[in-house]
Structure 1
């Protein structure tokens, strides 16, 4: 019987195999037909400590017997309170900058970003109502960025084939060029010009240090720091989308830490529960919250979803946060990053590959081919190639990237990089 499921980012007309995964443990997925796969991309960047982590699974089971779901408009529960306090304690700090002190829960990275945009625009709307500022509506974005697939998140992402069908729904933004090595000054000059334009922008949103779906493009902490400083100097809100970069992926708990940056608003999701359940949060400084604080009910923050701060998801997040507090997670990430760096260096010496890059536990390399880019026909062929070799990887066109769970061991890492080397032999067209 044909499955009725319509899968995300899947062209069913290609007839690609869709394996049935029946269980998972650590970095390994077990298929219905008895095969196993090493999860090289943390099941779309969410699984941090490994699949079915016992501490997180136990917390889910316990919470499911106490409180499963609660309307969060005007009510609260202990798991959400615990997660919110922990997030406030763990997020970046810097002298002279207001801390992120308020936490708004949602259920995915896209919605966390939507919330961030609505917070920023609501801030300027309410300040205008109070006569403290002129209205501001314009959002600045970084070239090649990706922030999700809801309408607001698509609007602030790179325009292309993946959102062309909905172009009439997308709002206009100001785009700052990506800070390619040696051209960082162009980025900073463009941001300075945009912040001093007659139409004063409301906010700049960036993926700090690494652009994920845009091709795993990496830029320096100094550039992130300078962008944040320009925004602060011109009173433009700085939004950090840490949905992918957070939870240790870049080698620190949050990427902003490497630049000493405290954003005005920060979106987190994916690894917040260790990858076990969907949950997200948008954190804001007190001034963002205070602009919405009033005795006037018309000025409350109008956003919610039915499953805001789901109690079971929050219990999973609380268990994940306890792991971060009590275990040497950063040590595991450092060891994994070192192993990836050694193997990536060896791979980079092959003529089949170019542009090796790594930050923390994220590594990427481009396969040399005449058919490059996001829609390269290589992508589905590479996915099938890796599947046949027991590896779950999902290349971005001719860009092969790794973002594994932190429990991946040396032998598994050898298998993954061996498959990459074989892919180079099989598919590359050296210049």
Structure 2
């Protein structure tokens, strides 16, 4: 038995993998096999038998500067020589203080509250907003509104503002669902409309909703510029400007979920910068540690913080977890922020994004592709296909060609680490296009082209 197969069988016997119908991983099925990995370096993931896969989705959007980056690794090793972890209740330490100071300087938001992951950040922001209004003498403001197609995590509180049918229907009895307003998704443009027109139309709907419901609404939550789980739905920053003004007018908090789009993905360090606004709450995770350790943070204003500052314990923010502000994770985040400065990453990404856009041109111009689009270092293409399992088939063909690409429904997207070079970009563009040809050939009833044997084929596919 091969090493890959041995680890695959052990994993199937012992591990419950996330957001996965495990039966689809069983041997002999039509789905993707598990890929056992032995190491990761740069943009590449390596299995136990010499195959490698270009991580074109940054391992669920977390990796910024490549796997096993020496500067982040060195920071973690150094931190292990002093403090690995200490509870943040009643104690503090240099990494959490320094990270909070740097994030405050970058965002203009003065206090940082830490969690472990994106869903936790959503939960913290929602609880903090509703509790703020109660402390401010307005306990009736405890409802939330989100944007259609929004995704903010899968814990029970985060699911309340997540508008993805699969999750809502499975756990609806457990969730107090929030209301939704229309998305500013530019793909909804009518003939003659621009992306800005769609944004204004969606903002008009938000205005009507807030006019009627603001007395009971604590906060609006939005993924700025890109609604990732909605199929990389991209929108014009005009929507964010209107949303900020409307929240101010009606006394509603604006929560911006930059868990996926923060730290340079959209072209600026934070997506909301492109609208020239500041939120009341900013949720960050994923790229915060460069893709090394779990950490999230909610940044908020001094005014929100002041509403909790009191002699009475019950007026404090009653939320915690054991690893809040973990020193190792905070050091990884500090090293990641250092890399932005040392490599001038945002400027470099402009050139990288333009180069990748040119390399992706054949897929963007494919006759079955609709709405080819890009925002910063995020690329997306909607594919006209009748295959109900298009995404799974495409992902399998991409893996056969050495690329990790996992479509969202019929939307193929790429969100690679920033360090992808020209040769790697050419490889990715070719693999993405060939995987599309192979998937559509299956749909059209023709034999799919064979994968390039030089890159290997996953066992069991």
Shorter-chain TM-score bucket reads over 0.9
Mean Cα deviation higher: 349-358 or 48-57 = 349-358
Question: What residue ranges of structure 2 are gaps of 5+ in the alignment?
Answer: 1-8, 27-31, 445-461
CA RMSD of aligned residues (A): 1.4
Deviation at 1:370, TM superposition (A): 1.4
1:228-267 map, 5 Å: 228-267=244-283
Tell me how far apart the structure 2 counterparts of residues 268 and 199 of structure 1 sit (CA, whole Å): 26
Residue number among 387, 395, 406 corresponding to 1:394 in the alignment: 406
Q: TM-score, normalised by structure 1?
A: 0.93
Give the number of equivalent residue pairs: 415
Residue number among 90, 105, 117 corresponding to 2:114 in the alignment: 105
Contact kept, 8 Å, 1:386 with 1:393, in 2: the verdict is yes
Residue number among 208, 218, 237 corresponding to 1:193 in the alignment: 208
Contact kept, 8 Å, 1:120 with 1:202, in 2: the verdict is yes
Tell me how far apart the structure 1 counterparts of residues 237 and 300 of structure 2 sit (CA, whole Å): 21
Contact kept, 8 Å, 2:397 with 2:439, in 1: the verdict is no
Tell me how far apart the structure 1 counterparts of residues 200 and 349 of structure 2 sit (CA, whole Å): 32
Contact kept, 8 Å, 1:353 with 1:424, in 2: the verdict is no
Once the two structures are superposed, what CA deviation does each residue of 1:185-240 show, in whole Å capped at 9, x if it has no partner?
A: 43112211222215521110000000011110000011211111111121211000
Residue equivalent to 1:153 = 158
Contact kept, 8 Å, 1:24 with 1:51, in 2: the verdict is yes
Residue equivalent to 1:322 = 338
Residue equivalent to 2:181 = 176
Residue equivalent to 1:340 = 356
What SS is found at the alignment partner of 2:170?
helix
Tell me how far apart the structure 1 counterparts of residues 284 and 63 of structure 2 sit (CA, whole Å): 14
Q: TM-score, normalised by structure 2?
A: 0.87
Tell me how far apart the structure 2 counterparts of residues 395 and 225 of structure 1 sit (CA, whole Å): 30
1:56 aligns to 2:72 (yes or no)? yes
Contact kept, 8 Å, 1:106 with 1:279, in 2: the verdict is yes
- Distance change (3 Å), C-alpha of 1:157 and 1:198: closer
- Distance change (3 Å), C-alpha of 1:134 and 1:29: closer
Contact kept, 8 Å, 1:332 with 1:407, in 2: the verdict is no
Residue number among 409, 421, 427 corresponding to 1:409 in the alignment: 421
1:242-321 map, 5 Å: 242-321=258-337
- Distance change (3 Å), C-alpha of 1:285 and 1:161: same
Question: What residue ranges of structure 1 are gaps of 5+ in the alignment?
Answer: 92-98
Q: Which has the higher helix share?
A: 2
Contact kept, 8 Å, 1:71 with 1:307, in 2: the verdict is yes
Once the two structures are superposed, what CA deviation does each residue of 1:81-126 show, in whole Å capped at 9, x if it has no partner?
A: 11000100112xxxxxxx3111001110110111010111011111
Contact kept, 8 Å, 1:42 with 1:404, in 2: the verdict is yes
Contact kept, 8 Å, 2:151 with 2:164, in 1: the verdict is no
Deviation at 1:134, TM superposition (A): 5.6
What SS is found at the alignment partner of 2:419?
coil
Residue equivalent to 1:94 = none
Once the two structures are superposed, what CA deviation does each residue of 1:152-192 show, in whole Å capped at 9, x if it has no partner?
A: 11110114123422101111312110113333343112211
- Distance change (3 Å), C-alpha of 1:220 and 1:198: closer
Residue equivalent to 1:96 = none
Deviation at 1:408, TM superposition (A): 0.4
